[in-house]
Amino acid sequence: MDRSITLLDGATGTNLWAMARQRGLSRAFVGLYNHTHPELVRELAAQFVAAGSEIILANTFCANRPTLMNYPGCHVRDMVSAAVALAKEACGAARVALDVAPLPKPPKDRTDRLGAAEIYDEQIGAGVDAGADLIFLETFWEPTLLTIAAERAAQYDLPLFCSMTFAENGATFAGVTPGETVQLLEPYHPAAVGLNCSCGPTDSLPVLRAFRQVTDLPLIYKPNAGEHTPADFAEAMAPALEIARYVGGCCGTTPADIAALRRMMRKK
């Protein structure tokens, strides 16, 4: 089983904030740490690699123009380039993914859609130029932004991973189901699809099973940690190993959780 599964990393933001707090540093937008405290970003990536992660998401989740407008002097290309470089310094043989988030608001008209495309072109282009090994769209919940981002990412010759966030009712906050997600992404030929964030590993499992019913594509499973010890997290993830090809964790998931998951995979 272990040989057929690729282990992803865990949370970026919650872990960086915890590391900053332990060092007496102020909590900030995590993208700023790429410049102000690069040692934290590098160390976290190294911890996940040591835990067994084979793909590390660069600290680029909200490194886009609308977000950085709130931080004078910050530029998309500089922040993205720094994040990818820091991840690569720590990763060894692990691959580095450009992490791309949904924008704050869905587009309302053609002008908004063109603007969103330009924003994604800027971020994704910077990540590709910096040497990212793949593009990972995650935590999307609304169909228009997902398709715009996927279209802009698909112009590059890199694997495209696409992940949406689902509620316990099995749909995103915009009402998109796993089946509709697969249909939306089909024109962009993703290498993998699935879910991240939202619920813990037990409550998210029905969504993963729904994905398997509608596609033969490799599946991504990156749920939140939930209220689990590392051993409990690994045990709760066990059923997903029969379904998903890429497994890891989202908010609250630590290197210890990923290490426990790796140990459980080896036992099986």
Structural tokens at position 132: 């990212």
Cα distances from 84 to residues 15, 34, 263, in angstroms, run 18, 9, 28
Q: Give the pLDDT score at 267.
A: 82
Beta strands in the chain (DSSP E): 6-7, 55-57, 95-100, 134-140, 160-164, 192-197, 219-223, 246-247
pLDDT tens track, the chain, 268 positions: 344 899 999 999 999 999 999 999 999 999 999 999 999 999 999 999 999 999 999 999 999 999 999 999 999 999 999 999 999 999 999 999 999 999 999 999 999 999 999 999 999 999 999 999 999 999 999 999 999 999 999 999 999 999 999 998 999 999 999 999 999 999 999 999 999 998 999 999 999 999 999 999 999 999 999 888 999 999 999 999 999 999 999 999 999 999 999 999 988 7
Q: Nearest Cα to 144, choosing from 107, 95, 109?
A: 107
Give the start-to-end residue ranges of the domains of the chain: 2-267
Query: Does the reported pTM lie above 0.85?
Result: yes
**Architecture in CATH for domain 2-267:** Alpha-Beta Barrel (3.20)
Say which residues have a Cβ less than 8 Å from residue 129's Cβ, sequence separation at least 6.
77, 81
Burial 196-215 (b: 16+ CB within 10 A, else e): bbbbbbbbbbebbbbbeeeb
